Chain A
Amino acid sequence: MRNVVPVLTVVATLIALWYAGAVALNAPWAYDKAARAEVTLTFPELVADTWSQEKPKLPAPHQVATEIWNTTGAMIASGRPFSKRSLIYHSWITFSSTALGFLLGTALGTLLAIGIVYNRTMDMSVMPWVIASQTIPILAIAPMIIVVLNAVGISGLLPKAMISMYLSFFPVVVGMVKGLRSPSQMQLDQMRTWNASRSQTFWKLRLPSSMPYFFTSLKIAMAASLVGAIVGELPTGAVAGLGARLLAGSYYGQTIQIWSALIMAATLAAVLVGLIGLIQRITLRRMGMAA
């Protein structure tokens, strides 16, 4: 509860700044209109206009909130939560490729990390490629993945999930390599005195030791997956998903639509990362490792 006051103060400040910014950025257009209609604006009239334009440079918070409500809550109220105009529908599309890409990325990242920790050749050969893979801009590679997979007859969810996977396996590899190597020399010696097999050492020592690293990686991977899913929606012709809403919004100058999609994406990211944080807390507490 002690955190509530400072958090609310920051939020209120941000919203105030946002409103002020809306006035500043949208004022030229308001003056333009006034000049054409040959009227002069009083300051209250100016403010009222900048906060209610149809295609403002920066929509005011309540405009975005109204748009989000109209495309979510109102849709549910009218019994059409999954209509094509609903942000719930688009969020769901983006979420499903995020989730699939995240799972694939986590699996790939974990497997690579195990390979790197247990195999000298992989240790020396794989890591440079893993790092190189992340230096290629995702915007350059995303259309190629979509086109290539389309050519072999794979379309829909999987190509987008592949892009999410491409972004999300990286933090998992890096975190898990560090985590699996975190047991001390003494702990490894101890296992040796008991003549533990490699798999016993893995399951009973290396894997549990890596859990704090694992969850930290998962949080980054989840955020990266969401970025991947949105980027993956752009070259598909902007049919569905939050990425598609962003693209369609920018075609037609629908800034309010862009901002609502952005805020939906941010909310989705916060919920997903928060969910991992919750699982992390429960798991580590049950393991007696709560920090």
Chain B
Amino acid sequence: MQDAQATSTASPVIAARDLSLTFQTNDGPVHALKDVTLDVQKGDFVSFIGPSGCGKTTFLRCMADLEHPTGGSISVNGMTPAEARQRRAYGYVFQAAGLYPWRTIGGNIRLPLEIMGYSKSDQNARIARVLELVDLAGFEKKFPWQLSGGMQQRASIARALAFDADILLMDEPFGALDEIVRDHLNEQLLHLWDRTNKTICFVTHSIPEAVYLSTKIVVMSPRPGRIADVIESTLPRERPLDIRDTPEFLEIAHRVRDGLRSGHSYEG
């Protein structure tokens, strides 16, 4: 089924073919990824879900050229991940906000813009725009320690949105947040995705979050890390929060849960 998709569309944004990555550790090799094949099309919102240690982060890091696969191939925008990284093709949101304590919120968002050589006036305009986007207008001059954890995480998302990358890689960005803030950010993220037509790869541990956000849900299983199931969402692009109570939503969530279960039994 995956192969059929791969051939049916012309140029996927991210294309992994039999991707494998084995870490050599003191306790012997760890197969973080094994023969992973996946296509992500332009404008897709893909969620990665699976038990801890199944290689979700590793997969994302391969896309970002932060990790080097030991087998198979992966391309980003038709290039190698290294070339894509050098062209600043993606923004990466780490699990921890990772703001610089000596820079204000505005200064933190300015950091990648300075590095990429945007003009001063362009920087200011972009900072104002993304702060608006994540509901942090007015916090530009505050230091990170003056903000709550959720606000810091929003600032780090704003930082990844500030420059023109049409791919967004997010590793459990909302993992540490409470349910209400999380709902709110999920909604905002969907709006943003809808407006900007970015391609988003999103790691999560939450089934409802994955189903609510995604056009495609990738269920992974551990030891070795591989793809157990790929579920195409039948939900419409326009998704109010209460779509989560519809039978259609529950049906997809059910399929994801089944996928996760079979992944576990595979392990045993």
Contacts and interface: CB of A to CB of B under 8 A. Distances in A.
Interface of A: 184, 186-187, 189-196, 200, 204-205, 208, 211, 287-289
Interface of B: 64-66, 85-88, 90-92, 94, 96, 98, 100-104, 111-112, 114-116, 143, 145
A194 B66 contact: no
29 contacts: A184-B98, A186-B94, A186-B96, A186-B98, A187-B100, A190-B92, A190-B98, A191-B115, A192-B85, A193-B64, A193-B85, A193-B90, A193-B91, A194-B111, A194-B112, A195-B85, A195-B88, A195-B115, A195-B116, A196-B115, A200-B115, A204-B114, A208-B102, A287-B102, A288-B102, A288-B103, A288-B104, A288-B143, A289-B101
A194 B98 contact: no
A254 to B, nearest CB: 52
Contacts of B104: 288
B239 to A, nearest CB: 29
A193 B162 CA distance: 14
A211 B108 CA distance: 18
B102 A194 contact: no
Contact of B100 (A195, A196, A208): A208
Given A189-B66, A190-B98, A288-B102, 13 more contacts: A184-B98, A186-B96, A187-B100, A190-B94, A192-B85, A193-B90, A193-B92, A194-B88, A195-B85, A204-B115, A208-B102, A288-B104, A289-B102
A211 B104 CA distance: 17
Contacts of B64: 193
B110 to A, nearest CB: 10
Closest A-B pairs by Cβ, 9 of them: A287-B102, A288-B143, A193-B92, A194-B112, A196-B115, A194-B115, A289-B102, A208-B102, A195-B86
A60 B19 CA distance: 82
Contacts of B90: 193
Nearest to B142: A288
Contacts of A200: 115
A210 B8 CA distance: 52
B115 A189 contact: no
Contact of A189 (B87, B94, B116): B94
A278 to B, nearest CB: 19
Contacts of A211: 102
Which of B66, B88, B96, B145 has the most C-beta atoms of chain A within 10 angstroms of its own C-beta? B66
B58 to A, nearest CB: 13
A269 to B, nearest CB: 30
A207 to B, nearest CB: 11
Contacts of B87: 195
A30 to B, nearest CB: 62
Contacts of B114: 204
A190 B65 CA distance: 11
B234 to A, nearest CB: 33
A213 to B, nearest CB: 14
Contacts of B92: 189-190, 193
A53 B94 CA distance: 73
A191 B66 CA distance: 11
Contacts of A287: 102
Nearest to B107: A288
A184 B95 CA distance: 14
A284 to B, nearest CB: 8
Contacts of B65: 192
Nearest to B98: A186
Nearest to A205: B100
B66 A192 contact: yes
Nearest to B84: A195
Given A189-B66, A193-B66, A288 B101 contact: yes
Which of A194, A195, A208 has the most C-beta atoms of chain B within 10 angstroms of its own C-beta? A194
Given A288-B101, A288-B143, A289-B101, A194 B94 contact: no
Contacts of A208: 100, 102
A187 B64 CA distance: 14
Nearest to A208: B102
Contacts of B111: 194, 204
A240 B98 CA distance: 54
A121 to B, nearest CB: 24
Contacts of A194: 88, 111-112, 115-116
B178 to A, nearest CB: 23
A246 to B, nearest CB: 43
B94 to A, nearest CB: 6
B60 to A, nearest CB: 11
